[in-house]
Structure formats: C-alpha cells, structure tokens
Structure 1
Amino acid sequence: MSNPKSNAEKYWQANLRLILGCLVVWALASYGGAILLRPLLSSIHIGGTDLGFWFAQQGSMLVFIAITFFYAWRMNKLDKEFGLEE
C-alpha cells in the first residue's frame, strides 16, 4: 500500500509541472509572437494587416484558450491516474 503523503506529493509535483509547462507555452506565444517575432512576421499580410499584429492581438488569446482546454483535459487524466476523479 502506498503512502498517502507520498501519493499527494507526486500528484502535486505532476500538477506543478503541468502548470509550469502551460505558463511557458503561454509566455512564449505572448512574448515571442507579439514582440520577438513581430519584425519577421510583418512582411506577411492577412486581413489588411501584418501577421505580427494578429499574433500580438489574437494569437496569444487563442493560445490561452487552447491551453485552458488542454489543462482541463490533462488534469482529468491526472485525477484518474491518482484516483481523485469525481
């Protein structure tokens, strides 16, 4: 039989890794797409403006929404893995 404290610590560590991974992806999409890649993407035009603008204005929001759904899906799997599903 596994130690409940050890199981809780493993669950929390897995949760923190997931949160950190999601935050890194969001930071890269927001900062990278909006600031660092803007000059590179400015030559591609979509909808009357450059692609860098779309990444800065819409891309980071869409990435955040995708990360939210990914996090919920992955946490459900994590909950089942540790026997904590509702």
Structure 2
Amino acid sequence: MTKNKAKAYWKENIRYLYILLTIWFLVSFGAGILLKDTLNEIKLGGFKLGFWFAQQGAIYVFVILIFVYVRIMNQLDKKYGYDK
C-alpha cells in the first residue's frame, strides 16, 4: 500500500508541476513575445504592457507560482500523510 501511495503522490505532484509550468510558459513566452505587439497598445505605469510582461511580469508570475506550489504541496502532503 505504501508503494501505491507514494506513486499516486508523485503522479499528482508531477501533474501540478506541468500545470504551473504551462502557466508560466504562457505568461512569459505568450505575453512577453507572441502577444507583445497586441499588449503594447495598453499602458501600465507609463510602460507598454508587452514590454512590462517581458521585463517584469513573467518574473512576478513565477514568484506567485512558487507560493502557489508551496501551498499545493502542503495540501498534497496532508492528503497523503507526508506532513509529519
């Protein structure tokens, strides 16, 4: 039972990693590069939004995703009994 529990834990962990990394990729590559011209029509603090995402926005999203991952992992640890 312990081996199955560990395998399910790892599988769920990897699934969350894929989701969070996909979000980060979409924000950094999508907003910072692909949608740059469209986003540059909007200003944020005097700067074009596409430029802001390329320079700072992706970093902010990455830091937020780190905190989200920590929270998710704490919940996952409790769910599978690894929080002791």
Name the Cα RMSD after superposition: 0.9
The whole-number CA distance in structure 2 between the counterparts of 1:85 and 1:60 is 31
Larger Rg belongs to = 1
| % identical equivalent positions | 44
Flag structure 1 segments of 5+ consecutive residues without an equivalent: none
1:40 aligns to 2:38 (yes or no)? yes
Equivalent-residue separation in structure 1 for 2:21 and 2:47 (angstroms): 28
Determine the C-alpha separation between the residues in 2 that align with 1:49 and 1:11.
43
Structure 1 window deviating more from structure 2 (76-85 vs 35-44): it is: 35-44
Structure 2's unaligned 5+ residue stretches are none
> Which TM-score applies when normalising by structure 2?
0.95
- 2: CA distance, partners of 1:27 / 1:46: 21
Could you say which residue in structure 1 is the equivalent of 2:50? 52
1:47 is displaced (CA, Å) by 2.9
